[in-house]
Amino acid sequence: MERYHSLKDAGVLFQRNVGSLEGLYGEAVSVRCEALLAEGMYEVIGTDLHNDRYADFFDGFGFKVSV
């Protein structure tokens, strides 16, 4: 976590990825995202939705996905 705080102190902005936090990319990634969230590290939220491969995953969040 020290490395992340160093980046934040240097002015780096952190983006939370919805899929990462919700376990789309595995448990280890989800756990790390939860830790960063608990530390208040995120400034923005986004997705990694570049095609319709994961479009169904985002239905539960109320997003209208159009790719």
What pLDDT digit, counting tens, does each position of 22-33 carry?
A: 788 899 988 998
Q: The whole model's pTM is what?
A: 0.68
Sequence-distant (≥ 6) Cβ neighbours of residue 64 within 8 angstroms: none
All residue ranges of the chain with pLDDT < 50 are: none
d(CA 29, CA 41): 15
Which of these, 1, 6, 9, 10, lies nearest to 32 by C-alpha position? 1
Calculate the alpha carbon distances from 63 to 38, 53, 56, 59 in Å.
24, 15, 10, 6
